[in-house]
Homo-oligomer: A and B are copies of this chain.
Amino acid sequence: MGRVASHDSHLRMTGQPMPSLHRRHTVQAITTRCLDSETIIPYYPAMQKTARQSQPAAQPPGRPREFDMDTALDGAIRVFCERGYHATSIGDLTAAMRLATGSVYKAFRDKHAVFLAAFERYASVRGEQTRAAAARGANGREKLRNVLLSYVEHSKGSEGRRGCIVVGSAVELSAVDPVMRARVTAQLKTNETFIAGLIREGQADGSVPDHVEADDTARLMICMTQGLRVVGKARLPLDGERLVGVAMKLLA
């Protein structure tokens, strides 16, 4: 039973995420906008002393980064989604990111930081896709329908098999890693308020009946979407039209 302070101790203990006093760094953070575009979350592409302060396009000193952070993170997303956090070794990570070990550890504090950055990017990209799907609808009801359909499509086939990093984090880490748990719940709430917003929009434009309970329905729909990712990862076939057709009854 006695296990004390290991490498990834902050994942196994209830403790804090380690104050990161390794190098104090006021990062010039690349920010990504999230689903509801309310919250702006920074992720750390590297550690570099802030450039000049008010010259946003100024290139920092030193050799510029050769690899593209986003494509590297896309690789990280791929493995993390597929295998989860614990089963992904640094070797898996460097292979997927096409980076050497040293480079990874130069760009990120540790494995956990890579995971967080991958999570951030995933949330940002998926949020954009979802908002795009919504935008293709004429009214609240149509938007909602498109959003649900988009969720099903992303839960199917090879992408579905790969899995969702949010669901993965919730299941694998939320009991044991307070940082990721906070991030996951925030993400779920963001998505939920986005959906609730669409329902209210539908009620305003008359495409959704007024007696629909926006918040409860939104929460149930979040359950549906998260469950879709679980079921999709287990490779059960999913038929978008049929499932969404049934789901739209919730707006009756």
Which A positions have Cβ atoms within 8 angstroms of B?
A: 1-3, 11-12, 82-84, 86-87, 89, 91, 94-95, 161-163, 167-168, 170-172, 174-176, 181, 184-185, 188-189, 213, 216-217, 219-220, 222-231, 233-236, 238-239, 242-243, 245-247, 249-250, 252
Contact = CB atoms under 8 A, between A and B. Distances in A.
A3 B83 CA distance: 15
A146 to B, nearest CB: 17
Nearest to A228: B223
A195 to B, nearest CB: 13
17 contacts: A1-B94, A3-B89, A12-B87, A87-B176, A168-B171, A170-B231, A170-B233, A171-B233, A185-B235, A188-B236, A216-B239, A216-B242, A219-B236, A220-B246, A222-B227, A223-B227, A252-B252
Each complex incorporates copies of this chain amounting to 2
Contact of A250 (B188, B242, B249): B249
Question: Which secondary structure dominates chain A's binding surface?
Answer: helix
Nearest to A2: B91
B1 A213 contact: no
Contact of A223 (B87, B162, B231): B231
Nearest to A94: B1
Contacts of A231: 170, 188, 219, 222-223, 226
Contact of A224 (B181, B220, B235): B220
A224 B242 CA distance: 15
Contacts of A3: 89, 91
Contacts of A87: 11-12, 86, 172, 176
A223 B224 contact: yes
A184 to B, nearest CB: 5
A176 B162 CA distance: 10
Contacts of A243: 216, 219-220, 223
A233 to B, nearest CB: 5
Contacts of A238: 219
A171 to B, nearest CB: 5
A82 to B, nearest CB: 5
B235 A174 contact: yes
